[in-house]
Structure 1
Amino acid sequence: MTPAASTPLVYRRNLAALFDPTSIAIVGASNDPGKYGNWLAVRALRDSARRQAYLINKSRPTILGHPAAHSLAALKGQVDLAVIAVPAAGFDEAVDDAITAEVKAIVAITAGLGETGAEGLARQDALVARLRRAGIPMLGPNCLGVLDNTTGLDATVNDFRPGSVAIISQSGNVAIDLAEHLCEQGLGVSRFASLGNCADLDVADLIDSCVDHEGTSAIAVYCEGFKDGRKFAAAAARAARAGKPLVLLSVGRGAASTRGAASHTGSLVTSHVVLEAVCEATGAELVSSPLEMANLLQALVRTRPPAGSRVAVLADGGGHASLASDSLEEAGLQVEEFSHDLSTQIAGELPPTAGISNPIDIAGGGEQDISCFARVVKRLVASCESDSILMTGFFGGYSDYDPSVLDGEVQAGRDIGSLVAGSGASFVAQTMFSDSAPVVALRESGIAVYRNVEHASWAMSRLVRRHQFAPQPLPVLPAPTAAPLVVTGYGRARRALAAAGIPFSPASEVTTLHELKAAAANLHYPLVLKALGDEHKSDSGGVILNIPDLNGLLTAWHDVQARLAPPSCSIEEMADTDGAVELIIGVRRDPTFGPIVLVGVGGVYTELLKDTRCALGPITTEQAKELLLSLRGAALLTGFRGKPAVAIDKAAQLVATLSRFAAEHPEIDEIECNPIAVTPTRALALDARIILHQTA
């Protein structure tokens, strides 16, 4: 059984020695400035006044002019953290030495282990087993080290500006890229941990540690794969409950993620879609680039999420006012006209030429009196006519034209920051002069500032969505059923699902003409004849509908036998689908996250419309209903152009039943009912498919 098939772990490992050791040893310390052992030793010695630094080299008694021991075990003092930077051939010996010396944590820089193939992985696993028996956590191997700016620990090879964002990354370059973007926005790093091969400590362990870290306000994660998806989900949910936003950047949005999928559900649930479902379940935020990650982190760290989508726009030019309004509306936000009373109040703070409705155009007011920005902001934060404020355009550039304005413009930035902080308003700024002293004053006052208005609008839309997130307990996987499925096919799948509570029309599977006639005698016309053996029966002409009587049934039988020669057929009572909406429902068992539930507009247009939503399974009836109502085509369910609403509660119950059935059967890789017909009175499955896990 995969790790995802178990209940999320609640045990959290003590990583104090990893992030705040009292002593550090560099194993493989070197005089060669081209080696990691040299770079790490230089940094450890630089911090030796704060924590004891030991240098370990098997063959040299001195390194960088400092004494070096030939092993950890030869040291007289206790080592909290051992950073191992030796060639792969010497790694086993270095680990055994660390165990003998009873170090408290290990950072393994060494590469050439689990990432090299089966032999290296077996060796790596054996080392981890020894370390776990000794109770020593290990970060890596094949990693770039660890840093904690709150404790002064610097056991990596890159500099990170101090701040409050923890970075956990499987790629050193992505971490550096993100840190540069954060620096440009006036943010910095509390901790950095390089995941490497995740042989022992994984991303969830490090997230849990950062949740408990007082100096971390948000967590940025770049991860290319998860050893235990449910454990990650539990850690991400814990971060959300603690008020520490977790922003995830991963890979898998390309077409390659869908290769090899055997059913509609399999081809629609890509790895990226799985991560979207996990993030929606846990409150984590999924992004697509380091720049998006930095833009969102700035908003999350500095801006209170708005309660709604109404935005007041404060601009100093008609062009910026219009561009900002368009950008906000494209992001799904509203720029609504102010009341006469609020417009009158704003008019009292600005020149007669100003635009005083929403968007506001100061129209030269900044040149006349720079303090008008703060006065207008004061009016806006006191009003209940907007949920957030976007200031856009030229602020921060007035002093370029008139240096005498500089002090006043800086003070205006501070005043705006004080007004926002004091009122708890949701406020974001965009300016052409993002590095100017007045804008620095805005950032230092706690305001998120962007260079591009589309980035500001996007960040505000994500904040609105975040405010709407309602935390719920993560789904717990049930115990596997005592009777696992062994063989499937349409008929067996249909019977198994019907026994679990999925409603179908009466049917019978037949292989001969005699069986056909006998089965038809117990069914009510009109009937449906389905040629089995081809998973896409309707595409090959293997589904004959509206058969009115026995003669029609015999004609259909001979037709499909002549064209398709199926091994068997299913004859079914024709469901009354008058006023029905066709949906697809399915579950795919992801290798790391377990069952992922899919719902969507179904039938033969499933791939064309691609109107689907996913969730971490199993889900309840209430969650299934929310999922169905989040479809773009949800209006089809609730009543569209005078048509009656369909039985969405019964459809949701069907989805929940299927999701639990799939969770109880870990041997199922994919399961699908497409379509299900939802009428005003019932929900009925018209097809079924189960694909079992193929063992090597």
Structure 2
Amino acid sequence: MIFSDPASVAVVGASDNPAKWGHWLARGALVGHDRRAVHLVNRGGGAVLGRPTVRSLSELDEAPELVVLAVPAAHVPAVVDEALAVGVRGFVGITSGIDDEVIHRIREAGARLLGPNCLGVFDAATSLHLAWGRFQAGSLGVVSQSGQVGLEIAGLAASSGLGVSRFVSVGNQADVTATEALLDLVSHSLTTVVGVYLESFGPGIVTAMSALRAAGKPVVLLTVGSSVAAQEAALTHTGALTSSLDVVDAACRRVGAVRVTTPAALVDLAAVLTSGVPRGRRVGVVSDSGGQGAIAADLLAAKGLTVPPLSSVDALPAGASRRNPVDLAGAGERDLANYARAVEVLARGGEVDSVVLSGYFGSYGPDTPSLESAEVAVASQICSLATETGISVVVHSMREDSAAVRALRAGGVPVQHTIERAVASLANANRLGSNEVEVAPRTATTTPFRPGYLAARELLGFTQFPRAHAVTTAADISRTTLRAPFALKADWLAHKGEHGGVKTNLTDPATAFEEMRARLGPGTYVLEEMDTREHTVELIIGAKRDPSFGPVVLVGLGGVHAELFKDTTTELAPVTPSVAQEMLARLTCAPLLSGWRGAPAPDVTALADVIARLSEMLTARPDLAEIELNPVRVGPDGVLAVDALIIPSEDDTSGQRVPDRP
């Protein structure tokens, strides 16, 4: 309760100067003076905002429970030492540049620090306002790594009529983390939806988002990193093919969150979600303009939503079209109540899951003041219909603000000034699903890791490989019972092709062996039968440990062109075979897996099982950092992995005779 409802607070650095942080923090703290003791500390003494101050914390009769640090960094160590000496248990570190030694002293004393370099904290439920800026109370919980981005989200939420229930700027997360701030919102009564801005993800973030979803509080996530991958590529192709945002999106799918790209999109979506998640993708469109209805329909279709034909439309106003989109064709102007009647026909008809009302509604009152009260009454009817039917209603109004627009927002119906924002918010809401899975553990091999391709084949016993055996001399090749054509591989090399460590389509493997050994040196080589089956598709299946989200699994178009096309999809591991099939269906190359141009369809069921088993293995084996099968050739008669690479968790590459990447 230290950072949500402290019994007493002290603002150190309180100021009467409106341009200083100490002024905003003091003014905000005094908002809650009826609920808690508020102390203002200014080393020069005097009054701040008409309230007496003390020169130091030691002058107080009791230790404040929470202290706000709004003094220059040079003064922070002395303030912290004094605060700890009198028994302070919590700090809000507004000041940047607080050194590690001060943070260590706070932790050692058993106290907590929010920040440093944060914008503060606000809680509408407890009248706690220890942050720069103004906040309108509402239902959106905000946790932000950037104070300014968080403040922008709060401002947009106020403009949309949504408001903020709780605001936590975590700053540098030297002690209190975003994960903790999110978990604290699970039981926060005013919060119905959560908006998050993070630039980095710490341990437990998936657990926190999942707990919020389980509590009925969907999460909308804003992050950055699409321009430059935030992860280093590891030794496998998997690392090069997986960007930071791929993994973030996989985490969102797993826990039923949605990632957006702007603060406005975050607030637009949150406004839709406050009244619930749409039941499906069918959308009914109502407009008093055929053009605006058609534009809405096109945008909805482009976002993957459907605008289905209607059958139960007899109750629509006279003159209105019986199609979807519904064009009121002037009926709205004749009687404003026809807007509510049209929405009601769609909402109660059972043929759509949500309704978009687009166009002039919201503008009648400002343009014709005598119609304002009637328009507000219709807005209230639309809000009641949305509540009664559970159908999501989103309004696009040509008027950015009006009495009717405010009435809609107050009643829980989101309003956007552009149709593209209205449609985008509804489409994003339909992305809110959950792939949380319970994977029944299958017996995982306990065979110790050994480097090399042959050892990887042995460890990955859940998939099939071509027949092969080790060769170290030309005599080993002369005794082979394998059938041509052959592949010859240097067992110890990771990316064999980059070092000339693989030869394919061989009919004379002995000559190829002598040439390769002369160039790469003595060692274990692998003679392998080539997979000559027809109608096969080459894929890559990989799994790795993400530093923030844990094990992830990737599948995509494979072979030598994997990094060129980057046709991949990623999920958190482990996955079930059914989720693996969903991954395959998302690939651009998915038609190749269903029988392209009359070819027999590959065995996707067996392929999905390999994906699931590989994801389970990495999850169950902390000694492994990465596993990759590339290429995997899948045909109508099953799956063959043609190459495999396993990387141990501790970067042990001592078994590699030649560095993989010079």
Shared fold per TM-score greater than 0.5: yes
Q: Which moved more, 1:526-535 or 1:413-422?
A: 526-535
Cα distance in 2 between the residues matched to 1:420 and 1:440: 16
Quickly say closer, same or farther: Cα 1:651–1:299, change in 2 above 3 A.
Answer: same
Q: Is the 8 A contact 1:329 1:335 kept in 2?
A: yes
User: In the alignment, is residue 472 of structure 1 matched against residue 447 of structure 2?
Assistant: no
Distance 1:31 1:449 in 2: 39
Tell me how far apart the structure 2 counterparts of residues 19 and 604 of structure 1 sit (CA, whole Å).
55
Alpha-carbon contact 2:557-2:589 (below 8 Å) kept: yes
- Superposition pairs for residues 154-233 of structure 1, below 5 Å? 154-228=129-203, 231-233=204-206
Counterparts of 1:441 and 1:46, CA distance in 2: 28
Equivalent position SS for 1:299 = helix
Q: 379, 383, 387: which is aligned to 2:345?
A: 379
Q: C-alpha deviations, 1:503-540, integer Å up to 9, x for none?
A: 3223234344234334xx24343322235676554577
Rounded Cα–Cα distance in structure 2 between residues aligned with 1:128 and 1:372 = 63
CA distance in 1, matches of 2:314, 2:20: 68
Tell me which of 634, 647, 658 is aligned to 1:678. 634
Contact 1:531/1:566, CA 8 A, preserved across alignment = no
Moved more, 437-446 or 156-165: 437-446
Q: RMSD over aligned Cα, in angstroms?
A: 2.9
For 2:165, what is the secondary structure of its paired residue? strand
Whether the aligned pair in 2 keeps the contact of 1:84 and 1:108 (CA below 8 Å) is: yes
Residue 344 of structure 1: CA displacement? 3.8
**Any residues of structure 2 matched to 1:543-582 within 5 Å, and which?**
543-548=502-507, 552-558=508-514, 560=516, 569-582=525-538
Once the 2 structures are TM-superposed, how far is the Cα of residue 124 of structure 1 from its aligned partner?
A: 5.3
Give the C-alpha shift of residue 254 in structure 1: 1.3
Counterpart position of 1:257: 230
Contact 2:232 2:239 in 1 (8 A): no
Alpha-carbon offset, residue 184 of structure 1: 2.4
1:350 corresponds to: 318
For 2:443 and 2:147, the matched residues in 1 are separated by 39
Q: Distance in 1 between matches of 2:536 and 2:262?
A: 41
- The answer for the alignment partner of 1:240 in structure 2 is 213
**Paired position in structure 1 for 2:273:** 300
Which aligned pairs between 1:281-360 and structure 2 lie closer than 5 A?
281-302=254-275, 304-339=276-311, 342-346=312-316, 349-351=317-319, 354-360=320-326
Give the partner amino acid of 1:503.
Answer: Q
- Report if the CA contact (8 A) 1:398-1:405 is conserved: yes
Equivalent residue number for residue 659 of structure 2: none
What is the identity, as a one-letter code, of the residue corresponding to 2:429?
L
Q: Aligned AA for 2:208?
A: A
Alpha carbons of structure 1 residues 350 and 399: separation in structure 2 relative to 1, 3 Å: farther
Of the structure 1 ranges 619-628 and 191-200, higher mean CA displacement relative to structure 2 is found in 619-628
| Displacement of 1:586 | 0.5
1:516 and 2:477 matched: yes
On the 8 A contact 2:122/2:130 being kept in 1, the answer is yes
Cα distance change of structure 1 residues 305 and 260 upon mapping to structure 2, 3 Å threshold: closer
SS in 2 for 1:53: strand
Q: 1:489 to 1:695 in 2, by over 3 A?
A: closer
Query: Where does residue 405 of structure 1 map in the other structure?
Result: 371
Q: Which of 589, 593, 608 pairs up with 1:633?
A: 589
Post-superposition shift, 1:625? 3.4
2:315 and 2:498 map into 1 onto residues whose CA distance is 66
Q: Which amino acid aligns with 2:213?
A: A
Cα deviations by residue, 1:342-381 (Å, 9 ceiling, x for unpaired): 34432xx133xx4221111111112211111111222212
Tell me by how many angstroms 1:297 deviates: 0.8
Residue 248 of structure 2 is aligned to residue 275 of structure 1 = yes
- Which of 650, 663, 668 is residue 619 of structure 2 equivalent to? 663
Note the 1:36-185 alignment, pairs <5 A: 36-57=21-42, 59-64=43-48, 66-113=51-98, 120-121=99-100, 123=101, 126-131=104-109, 134=110, 136-185=111-160
Shift in CA distance, 455/34, structure 1 to aligned 2, threshold 3 Å: closer
Unpaired runs of 5+ residues, structure 2, are 653-662
Contact persistence 2:365–2:403 (CA under 8 A): no
**Alpha carbons of 1:232 and 1:66: their partners in 2 closer, same or farther (altered >3 Å)?**
same
- 2: CA distance, partners of 1:29 / 1:480: 60
Unaligned runs of 5+ in 1: 1-15, 114-119
1:192 maps to a residue whose letter is F
Question: What is the number of residues matched between the two proteins?
Answer: 651
Q: Tell me, yes or no, if the aligned pair for 1:314 and 1:321 is still in contact at 8 Å.
A: yes
Q: What secondary structure does 1:214 align onto? A: coil
Deviations 1:554-602 (A, max 9, x none): 3443565688879664211223533322221101211122211111232
Counterpart residue type for residue 369 of structure 1:
D
Identity of aligned residues (%): 39
Cα shift at 1:636: 3.2
Aligned-partner SS, 1:345: coil
CA contact (8 A) 1:476 1:618 kept: no
Instruction: Give the match for residue 6 of structure 1.
Output: none
Secondary structure of residue in 2 paired with 1:335: coil
The letter for the 2-side match of 1:266 is G
Measured after TM superposition, the shift of residue 61 of structure 1 is 4.1
Question: How far apart, CA to CA, are the structure 2 residues paired with 1:480 and 1:495?
Answer: 13
Paired with 2:446 and 2:513, the residues of 1 have a C-alpha distance of 38
What is the one-letter code of the residue matched to 1:297? A
Structure 2 CA distance for partners of 1:542 and 1:247, relative to 1, 3 Å: same
* In structure 2, C-alpha distance between the alignment counterparts of 1:542 and 1:660, rounded to whole Å: 30
1-side partners of 2:633 and 2:385: how far apart? 55
TM-score scaled by length of structure 1 = 0.86
**Which stretch shifts more, 415-424 or 73-82?**
73-82
Matched with 1:12 is none
In the alignment, what sits opposite 1:11? none
Cα deviation per residue 1:319-349 (whole Å; 9 max; x = unaligned)? Answer: 101111110110111122222xx34432xx1
The structural deviation recorded for 1:256 is 4.3
Task: Please give the per-residue CA displacement for 1:406-465, whole angstroms capped at 9, x wherever unaligned.
Answer: 222221111111122112222211121131222222222221111221222222222223
Cα distance in 2 between the residues matched to 1:146 and 1:477: 42
Alignment-derived partner of residue 406 in structure 2: 440
Query: Normalising by the residue count of structure 2, what TM-score does the alignment of the two structures yield?
Result: 0.90
SS at match of 1:646: coil
Distance 1:212 1:99 in 2: 30
Q: 1:505 aligns with which of 466, 484, 500?
A: 466
Residue type of the alignment partner of 2:238: T
